[in-house]
Chains A and B, each alone.
Chain A
């Protein structure tokens, strides 16, 4: 880079913090998106920028949206029971596209036995029904702060 870009440092700019950007997606064939919408709204209220993809998304659609939006976190909502088939595919595609640094969290009806398996595959956290919204917000904040070296807001 040449020195012409230094103008940004010569002038005192107001401190601008990158907002946390989250993709919330409904993976698979179930159309029950109340939970996804409640979580998306909670993240919005926590000051994050949330992109919602809508229902009935394939792993390919979710990962491509994450890729184009350059999000910090992908939140997958799934109630159909197909998580053990679809979530690994999302993780695999994310790695394939070079998005290893994107944190994946899963929410929905996930049997207790599957939670450690999903985490072993690379899912950062699983939120089952009844999880307080604050717990989801805090988890995402902590996770993104650790990745960025604590410069984020929201």
Chain B
């Protein structure tokens, strides 16, 4: 199929065409560049929810509940789920779909999994470009799931309108809630698995961290903390209500479009970094640089000096 025709079919909602379109975009290609240039002009209307939290905090299960809620409203929902690639083999095992498979046959839901392919920060360039694609194709609700993150994997803050940070009971004391990084980026903090002991305590620790903050959030919105049991479906209605309130807030304060701008700048930066890294790996293997590498390993050349030299070659 010609790429122009593929684009037309994807706009009409043909699943195979959408799927092949994303495949063109997720690796650099002429077709992907052409498609993106068309899609970007149409994008910017969707509401993107970022869902982040440590491994096993229940992100996929919560997403399944959110899909349910938005489908009841008749919205088209796209899910972009990111899982880690192996630093050894570059392979990946992506299991986010497991919790969402009941929507596999729903034509109003499109779920796509991505491996990080060596990128850090919790999301990937390919995932960001796919968000643009879904947005351009008219999906009004996009759920972007990060890998199971650590305290500094905060790139989702540049990619989503509304950020949900998930925690679970028993994952640390009040100091953990006060630490910089992940615990600063949430618009909404979700204590998931609230059916387990210790949930109320964890909620109180989060509320303390929010109340005491001078820095409210990136948009001035005062973060909200609440308890949810995604597995049992408890607290989901309230969460959806708070998400709606956050959308109202960013819309009224003209922040919604700023988020799209930020997402695009971030996509640009992460792609440049990715290209630089690939180029750097190349340079390190080149025979003409072997003396430089030898000097570094033996300690004869300071790292700063070698770094500046390599940077000039990039």
- Give A contacts to B, CB under 8 Å: 1-2, 4-9, 13-14, 16, 18-19, 40-41, 43-54, 57-58, 60-61, 64-65, 67-70, 97-99, 153-154
Contact = CB atoms under 8 A, between A and B. Distances in A.
Interface string B1-42: 001100000000001100110110001111101100100000
A14 B22 contact: no
B3 A1 contact: yes
A68 B113 CA distance: 9
12 contacts: A43-B91, A47-B89, A49-B115, A51-B94, A52-B95, A58-B105, A60-B105, A61-B104, A61-B105, A65-B111, A70-B20, A97-B15
Interface string B183-203: 000000000000000000000
A64 B16 CA distance: 10
Q: Which 7 A-B pairs have the closest CB atoms?
A: A54-B98, A14-B278, A44-B91, A5-B30, A61-B104, A5-B33, A64-B104
A67 B20 CA distance: 9
Interface string B277-314: 01101100000000000000000000000000000000
Contacts of A18: 27
A67 B33 contact: no
B94 A64 contact: no
Contacts of B86: 44-45, 47
Contacts of B89: 44-47, 154
B110 interface: yes
B93 A8 contact: no
A29 B90 CA distance: 33
Nearest to A6: B30
Interface in B79-111: 85-86, 89-95, 97-99, 101, 104-105, 110-111
A79 B179 CA distance: 48
B112 interface: yes
B275 interface: yes
- Classify chain B's interface size: 35 or more
Nearest to A37: B93
A153 B86 CA distance: 14
A51 B275 CA distance: 26
A45 B91 contact: yes
Interface of B: 3-4, 15-16, 19-20, 22-23, 27-31, 33-34, 37, 85-86, 89-95, 97-99, 101, 104-105, 110-113, 115, 117, 275, 278-279, 281-282
B282 A68 contact: no
Contact of B28 (A1, A8, A43, A48): A8
Nearest to A54: B98
Contacts of A1: 3-4, 30-31, 34
A68 B110 contact: yes
Contacts of B29: 8
A44 B105 contact: no
Given A51-B97, A60-B105, A70-B22, 7 more contacts: A1-B34, A5-B34, A8-B29, A40-B93, A46-B89, A46-B91, A64-B104
Given A9-B30, A68-B111, A49 B92 contact: yes
B257 to A, nearest CB: 25
A102 to B, nearest CB: 11
A147 to B, nearest CB: 14
Contact of B15 (A48, A53, A60, A68): A68
B105 A64 contact: yes
Given A1-B30, A47-B89, A54 B279 contact: no
A45 B92 CA distance: 8
A46 B30 CA distance: 29
Contacts of B34: 1-2, 4-5
B37 A4 contact: yes
Contact of B94 (A41, A45, A52, A60): A52
A47 B92 CA distance: 7
Contact of A65 (B30, B101, B281): B101
A7 B271 CA distance: 15
A19 B115 contact: yes
